[in-house]
Amino acid sequence: MSTEELPAYGDAAAQIGDGQTGQPGALDPLLYREIDRAEWAELAPGIPSPLTETEVVQLRGIGDRLDVTEVREVYLPLSRLLSTYAENTKRLGAETSAFLGESDTTTPFVVAVAGSVAVGKSTIARLLRELMSRWPGTPRVELVTTDGFLYSNAELERRGLMARKGFPESYDRRALVRFLTDVKSGAPEARAPFYSHVRYDIVPDAHVTVRRPDVVIVEGLNVLSPAPSPHDVAVSDLFDFSIYVDADDTDIAQWYVDRFLALRQGAFSNPSSFFNVFAGLSDAEAVERAMGFWNDINLPNLRENVEPTKHRATLVLKKAADHAVETVLLRKL
């Protein structure tokens, strides 16, 4: 169970199978500026948050502790930086077209949000969509998740990959590349498949349609993975800016189990939910089941496929155990 729906309880970190803790792969300080929370918060002085406390509560995911202070000190400066990048990328595109004697063919600015299951990247993607749409230069912002590019459950079963759902091979990478190519080439519209978290599957004949917005945010586990061969286009080749949401894997394990327990009380109780079979578990049984999913699927995927792509990100948000961002690392230009 590698989906973004699942979530934690008790000292989950102590139950990680191999006993390893922390995140490997520290970033090269020669490539990144490391900015602490206080310094980062000062980069948007005097700019009021456009979101109310109620709006922030509506945006945050289960188990996340996002509040108006976090929005003001971390994500408002980030949205300003992203809008600056988007505006300057648009300007460069227009100047390039003028240099070539062509009409302006400016295309959407594409932002990636990557990271582990349960690290909070979906909340961050939704929040950035709202914040960026409030800046004058980027009023039209769309969000697409890579869940829609998972193979259907029937296809995963046919390929023997159901137990590896969320691993790179479980995605239709070519379809995702085609979608992003349409976006970046300025196609009038680009269509992505729609994924139901209730059904835990692709919904046939349902789509998310993007019609040349100013910004497209793409959120997913493996969006920063390299191409499978030198002859292929990597998904990350089509991003203008990428964000990796980082945390110690012991903390993520705890968040994962917390979310699983919360969903057992809520979404899992829906008779139509794929996960309804877990609704009647006791606390102890739910923790055991969640940690099984974490140790057998999500932790290996994080260590083998997700975390090693961190160095490919333009910016890394390092979270503390309470979900608050404590450090921002920005790649040097």
Query: Residues annotated as binding site?
Result: 115-122
Residue with the two structure tokens 């990557």: 114
Phi-psi region of 37 (alpha: psi -120 to 50; beta: other; left: phi over 0): alpha
SS3 30: coil
Residue with the two structure tokens 């932790």: 299
Determine the angle formed by the axes of helices 249-265 and 283-293, rounding to 10 degrees: 130
Question: Of 258, 106, 260, whose CA–CA distance to 183 is shortest?
Answer: 106
Which residues carry a binding-site annotation for ATP?
A: 115-122
Strands of 37-117, DSSP E: 109-115
With 0-12 CB in 10 A as exposed, 13-18 as middle and 19+ as buried, what is 67?
Answer: middle
**Residue 58: CB partners within 8 Å, gap ≥ 6?**
none
